[in-house]
Amino acid sequence: MDKSSKIYVAGHRGLVGSAIVKNLKNKGYNNLIFRTHSELDLTNAIQVAQFFESEKPEYVILAAAKVGGIVANNKYRADFIYENLMIQNNVIHQSYLHGVQKLLFLGSTCIYPKQAPQPMPEDCLLTGPLEYTNEPYAIAKIAGIKTCESYNLQYGTNFISVMPTNLYGPNDNFDLEKSHVLPALIRKIYLGKALENDDWDTLRLDLDKLPIEEVNGSSEKKDIIKKLAKYGIKAENDADLKSETDSQNVAIEIWGTGKPMREFLWSEDMADACVFIMENRDFKDCYPVDLMEVRNTHINIGTGEDISIEALAYLIKREIGFRGEFFFNTEKPDGTMKKLTDPSKLNDLGWKHKICLEEGIKRIYKWYFNNH
C-alpha cells in the first residue's frame, strides 16, 4: 500500500477498527475512508454496492461486526449469525466486483472447536463441535474465512483472514450486559470501588455516560443499588447506604468458577499486526504452496499466553484498588475451559506482540478512568 492509497476501514469506531485507524494514521496513510452505521448499513446489499461504486476503495479492512460477550452471544443468537453473515457477504462480494487490491477480514478465535488442542493452531478449524453459547457468531466468522478463501481460489483475489484472540483496549465496550469479560471486570470493579467508598459523584458520573438499562446518574440511590446488584456489584448493606464518610463491604459476582483460562491481546498490538499483514503479506503467503487442497489459510493473532479468570480479576482488583471480595457463581456457565491460540504462523511471517497483560490492564484502566 502507498501512503495515498484509498483504504476503506469498515467498523472504524469500534475497538478493532479504531485501533487500526490510529495505526494507519500514525504510519502516514492519508486517504482513509469511513462510514458510520447511520450513513451506510452494511447489512443492506444495495447500499453497500452503491458505496463501492461511488468510492472505489483500493484496499478494504473489514472490522465491522456484531460482537458481544457470553450473555449477548447466547441471548441474541439470530442477530449474531444474520447480521455478521450479511455484513461480510456484502463487503467481500463488492470488493471482488470492484477490483479491490487487498482485503483483510477480521474474525475471532471462537471459530475453533470447544475441545480444540491447546494452543489452537489454524489447522484445527472444523475438526469438532463449537462452544454452544457463541456458535452462531463462530459459524458466521467461519463462513467469512471460507468466503475469502473461495473468492481467492476462483477469482484470484487477494483476501486475507485474521483471527484475533480476546481483545481489549481503547473504545472497548463496557456495557455490562454485552461486554466481554475483561472490560466487564474493569467496570464492575471500578463501580464496586466507588460503592464501597460511598463515592456517589463517581457512580453518578459513570452511569450518566453509560446507563445500565434504564438506570442513569439521576436515578434514586435505591434504584442504582438494585441495578448494580443485578449485575453482580453488591453492597453488604444495600438497603440503606451509610454516611458519606463510611465505607461499604462490597462483593463482586463473577460468572462461573473462575478457573477458565483466557488469552488477551492489547487492541493496538492487534492493529499493528493487521497493518503489518496489509503492508507485507499476501494470500499466497498464508499456506504452503505444495498443498493439493487449500485450507486453513487464516492467521491467528495472539500472544500464546493465558491467565485464569480468577487471576485476571485479582490483577484488575490490585490495579484499581478495590478492597472487597469476589463471589464466583458456579451456577453460571464457565464456557470453554481453555482457549489459547498458537500464533507461530504469524510469528513466522514476521510479527510478534509487544504489550504484556499487566501493562495492558494499566493502560485500559487509565483510559476508562479518563473517559468515564
Could you give the residue numbers annotated as active site? Answer: 137
Q: Is the peptide bond before 119 cis (omega within 30 degrees of 0)?
A: yes
C-alpha torsion sign, points 71, 73, 77, 79: positive
| Burial per residue of 245-273, b for 16 or more beta-carbon CB atoms within 10 angstroms, e otherwise | eeebebbbbbbbbbebbbbbbbbbbbbbb
Do residues 178 and 69 touch, judged by C-beta distance below 8 A? yes
Q: Is 293 exposed, middle or buried (0-12, 13-18, 19+ CB in 10 A)?
A: exposed
Check residue 93 and report its DSSP letter.
Answer: H
Q: Is 220 exposed, middle or buried (0-12, 13-18, 19+ CB in 10 A)?
A: exposed
d(C-alpha 38, C-alpha 299), whole Å? 31
Angle at 132 between CA 346 and CA 82, to 5 degrees: 80
Look at the block and give the residue holding cell 483471527.
163
Beta bridge partners of 254: 328
Angle at 219 between CA 218 and CA 225, to 5 degrees: 130
Beta bridge partners of 62: 10, 105
DSSP of 273-299: HHHHHHHH--GGGGS-TT-SS-----E
Beta bridge partners of 233: 252
